[in-house]
Chain A
Amino acid sequence: AQKITQTQPGMFVQEKEAVTLDCTYDTSDQSYGLFWYKQPSSGEMIFLIYQGSYDEQNATEGRYSLNFQKARKSANLVISASQLGDSAMYFCAMREVNAGNNRKLIWGLGTSLAVNP
């Protein structure tokens, strides 16, 4: 069964430093997608970055980059130059595509990031 593992329940980082949030996944599918979402204390779910299993280059979106290591089945999120507003829960998710072509997301348990001034 497909599974997402986030091993860091909580992380601290100093403002302006970089931080890496870990995510490993398990799937037997050849085609899959990996997502990172941010959930601030207000509760909304904000899309950050996407990596397709066939994408050869690591995805980047502004200060966010995804360190995709397919052989190790890891998709770590790197946030550069942390800002106070980055304090939030971060979720890694994988898109499951089954025979019925539904594309639901399988979620990790999240990592709580606190950015210190």
Chain B
Amino acid sequence: DSGVTQTPKHLITATGQRVTLRCSPRSGDLSVYWYQQSLDQGLQFLIQYYNGEERAKGNILERFSAQQFPDLHSELNLSSLELGDSALYFCASSQDRNYGYTFGSGTRLTVV
């Protein structure tokens, strides 16, 4: 157990639907990062939150949004899902000044 908890582990949904992926960071970590891993594009940074505030945005589609709550857990919302959104979505956390990143086990999203 890495200390970063992602739920659900697997998600199968239809095109056009909306899903929410949840991440609880490791205790003491203030930063949460979301990454998407797909077969055609590899690992892509989506977005980072630090202590509740958005810190950086990467290749995140407008159909996707995220937030970090006061208890530091984060949610990634994916809407109007397309087949191409099928991927493994990782959450990672870090203490901002620490070089270490701890990854959750990922949520495997399948859009059918």
Binding site for B on A (CB under 8 A): 33, 35, 37, 43-47, 50, 52, 91, 93, 95, 98, 100-110
Contacts and interface: CB of A to CB of B under 8 A. Distances in A.
A72 to B, nearest CB: 22
B66 to A, nearest CB: 14
A91 B101 CA distance: 14
Interface residues of B, number: 27
Contacts of B48: 102-104
Given A95-B99, A107-B43, A110-B42, A102 B105 contact: no
A107 B33 contact: no
Contacts of A37: 103
Interface of B: 2, 31, 33, 35, 42-45, 48, 50, 55-56, 58, 88, 90, 92, 94, 96, 99-106, 108
A43 B105 CA distance: 7
A103 B94 contact: yes
Contact of B42 (A47, A50, A104, A109): A109
Given A44-B2, A52-B99, A98-B56, A103 B31 contact: yes
Contacts of A45: 90, 92, 103, 106
A44 B35 CA distance: 13
